[in-house]
Structure 1
Amino acid sequence: MNGASREALASARERLNALTDSSSVDAAKLAEELAAVTALLDREVSLRRVLTDPAQTGEARAELARRLLGNQVGEPTADLVAGMVRSRWSRSRDLADGVEELAYSADLIAAQRAGQLDDVEDELFRFGRIVTSTSELRSALTDQNAQGSAKAALLHSLLGGRANPVTERLVTRLVGAPRGRSLEAGLDALSKLAASRRGRMIAVVTSAVPLSDVQRQRLGASLAKVYGRQIHLNLDVDPEVLGGIQVRIGEEVINGTIADRLDEAARRMAG
């Protein structure tokens, strides 16, 4: 997002945080209703354009949103959506993207309230690795001809009772409404959104063998010192790296694996 949309989304995030500071607000219900609003905006392109029309005043757009939502959603959801359409957006599509982010964030807030956000982060990462390594599962979950109910049932058979309910809801929603993203990209975005709830960064650490608790603590402390922020470590084991570790933070890769050193030596010899 750029310009006005970025500012509008930042304001919406603040309103969501303020709203969910109250324990009386059901964050899971809020997430479900915001997801339904996202689906409505995706279906009704003309409505999306009307709700972001700069020729109309913000108050007029907000009032229209309230009338349209009527008794379909609760007051907290109506307040959030009205506040969002009151703001200016660079593109009408950005409004739907913003509502979707708030839906995911509301579910993550529910996990955070329950002290389960770390579990959800780890489960999203692990599920992403399973999808990457299992082509049959990925094909089943991304098959455009498959019914959404069948995909939800498959996910429930895999995650139900094994993963946090918030994790299952997030993944099911992502699979049911990918909105133009690959499954891997969607899971990565969810992981980053979960990390941002604590104001921390994600480091994907790949090693030949599992790291010990002491190694994890030392690595986390070292990275936090370098980046000036708390770092959440997502750990992956890949015997092909041979030894050492690879750390990926965003687009930056810190490579200290034996395999990488051998590749570098081979390149130098070839040169």
Structure 2
Amino acid sequence: MTHPYYSGLGGHPGQDRLLTDRATFTESYAFIPRGAMRDIVASALPFWEQTRAFVLARPLSGFAETFSQYIMEVGPGGGSDRPDDDSEAEAILFVVEGGGVLTIDGALHRLSPGSYVYLPPETRWSLRNDRDAPLKFHWFRKAYQAVDGIDRPEVLVTSDAAVSPSAMPGCEGVWETSRFVDPTDMRHDMHVNIVTFYPGGMIPFCETHVMEHGLFVLQGKGVYCLNKDWVEVEAGDFMWLRAFCPQACYAGGAEPFRYLLYKDVNRHMPLRINAR
């Protein structure tokens, strides 16, 4: 099944628009609506050509601490041969629009909407947009937490279409998760999955857990419980949930409600501040 992925970015509202919007930053979560991702907030990154980045999450003391998440927009002919100088950073790329060529240790991979890539630390990679339209993708970065006696993960290049979703037990098929890596694989210290709720689907209790989340709505709409607030969300909105922030949701509308979900996994809890 082919699914659309929200990829609208940039622009600038007119002077006749109201200032009020849904953007919220609290002690337990942040909510960035798609209308806030305008030209004025875009960032530039070293050694990236014809490219801008919309930063959705970054480590902040006292808030969320494990990852950063960008939406990258690479113009025709743009890209980078030196994308990340942090040798300890692992990465996940998920393409939502356009295409390009990813080179990993000399091997070429063609990217298209739905492409998913895992890049371990110290991987030599580059990315170029060889098309006439923009390439847009999510880029997750995390400092890899090595464990003595456990190997690092290998490079993985796959796609949303290549993964069979797993139905959540007891949910009559209305809640499923597309997992790109085996959740029991202890080599991985982060997961980026796609969660899908079909009309009528819901999380039927308030989850409260140690994993923090980055949550980007790819398709559809719903209502999300964030701590004590119920927030209407739609394709293009982003939620950033601190560890233990209560959360639940239910789908709305006639189409599937799908979101890209980051979480930190498979490691002991650090017992010293800044010991991660």
- Give your verdict on TM over 0.5: no
TM-score band w.r.t. shorter chain: under 0.3
**Larger relative contact order (Cα-Cα within 8 Å, sequence gap ≥ 6):** 2
More strand by share: 2
The alignment's TM-score, normalised by the length of structure 1, stands at 0.23
Greater share of helix:
1
Which has the higher Rg, Structure 1 or Structure 2? Answer: 1
